[in-house]
Amino acid sequence: MRELSVRHALSVDPVGVIDAIWSGAEWNSRWEAIRLFRVGYDDGLHQIAEITLDWYGALVRMKVVRFRTRPLCIEFFCPRPPHPLAHQSGSWSVENKDGKSFLVATRRIALAETPSESEGERELRLTNYADRLSERLSLILPRFSYSSE
């Protein structure tokens, strides 16, 4: 299991930012790698969605369950993680430090095992995936760090 965290400074209303991250429509309009973000259930606190996205040229599908644990925090896990992951969970939250607000994305990921792969090879593959995911998140966070109004 690998954990990673990426943050981006916020200068807009944090409530609006978290609301936008909760919205499937906002994902469709703000992040071009999204091909489909279909919300199957949403009661304001819990949500299940099917997502198809472009992952460095390959289309991957995932099922995600998201829930608002605090006003400025969305946690999630994937009953069906995107290939090649066996596990993905994490959060989107707003944190305050030294009088400044930051949008923070955290992830816990594990790769599906591949037959005949050594532990060292899998660790290297996990490191490469985590690097790409961090890069992705560093591109996504600014897309939600502005007001659409």
* Cβ nearer to another protein, comparing 82 with 101: 82
Least separation in angstroms between CB 43 and another protein: 6
31 versus 67: smaller Cβ distance to another protein: 67
Nearest to 66 by CA among 45, 84, 87, 95: 45
Token pair recorded at residue 4:
């990673």
Tokens describing residue 109: 């990921």
CA dist., res. 125 & res. 117, Å (int) = 10
Closest approach, Cβ 106 to another protein, in A, equals 14
**In whole angstroms, how close is the CB of 38 to another protein at the nearest point?**
13
Q: What are the structure tokens assigned to 26, written together?
A: 């906002």
Residues in the chain: 149
Using DSSP, state whether 57 is helix, strand or coil: coil
**Distance, CA of 139 to CA of 28 (rounded, Å):** 15
30 versus 108: smaller Cβ distance to another protein: 108
- Shorter beta-carbon distance to another protein: residue 76 or 146: 76
Residues that bind another protein (CB under 8 A): 40-41, 43, 45-46, 48, 65, 67, 77-79, 87, 89
To another protein, the closest distance from the beta carbon of 69 in angstroms equals: 8
Task: Classify residue 3 by burial, with Cβ atoms within 10 Å: 0-12, 13-18, 19+.
Answer: exposed
Least spacing, CB of residue 2 vs another protein, in Å: 14
Closest to another protein by CB, 46 or 70: 46
